[in-house]
Amino acid sequence: MTPFARATNTAKIAAQIDSFNAVNNRIATALNVSYLDVTTESRKAAADPGLIAMDGLHFSGKEYGIWARMMQPWLLTALAQR
């Protein structure tokens, strides 16, 4: 979704990322650990340049903030169980 990667085969990259995430999710489930897939959210960067850092390669603080909010319910639950 970044300008850096747009010159490549984005459909192929998207399929590879989806496959990678599926494997990660299966491993996390097998090990009984939490897994947060941020891919759907990060793909919104294609339509919102504010989600990409000025270097055109990394996500912006705005995007990382969204991911942090996505993690918040899990973190609160995990902390409450301690």
Give the pLDDT confidence of 19-51 residue by residue, as tens digits: 999 999 999 999 999 899 999 999 999 899 999
In a domain, 73, yes or no: yes
* Domain total of the chain: 1
CB contact burial 9-34 (16+ within 10 A = b; e otherwise): eeeeeeeeeeeeeeeeeeeeeeeeee
**If pLDDT is split at 50, 70 and 90, which confidence band does 12 have?**
confident
Is 3 part of any domain?
A: no
In a domain, 4, yes or no: no
Q: pTM for the complete prediction?
A: 0.80
Contact 39, 17 (CB under 8 A): yes
- Using CA atoms, how far residue 37 sits from 7, 20, 71, 80, in Å, is 24, 11, 10, 22
pLDDT at site 23: 98
Instruction: Give the model confidence (pLDDT) of 68-82 as tens digits.
Output: 999 999 999 989 988
Structural domain contains residue 24? yes
Instruction: Compute how many other C-beta atoms are within 10 angstroms of the C-beta atom of residue 73.
Output: 9
Tell me, yes or no, whether 68 lies in a domain: yes
Question: In which domain, by residue range, is 44 found?
Answer: 10-80
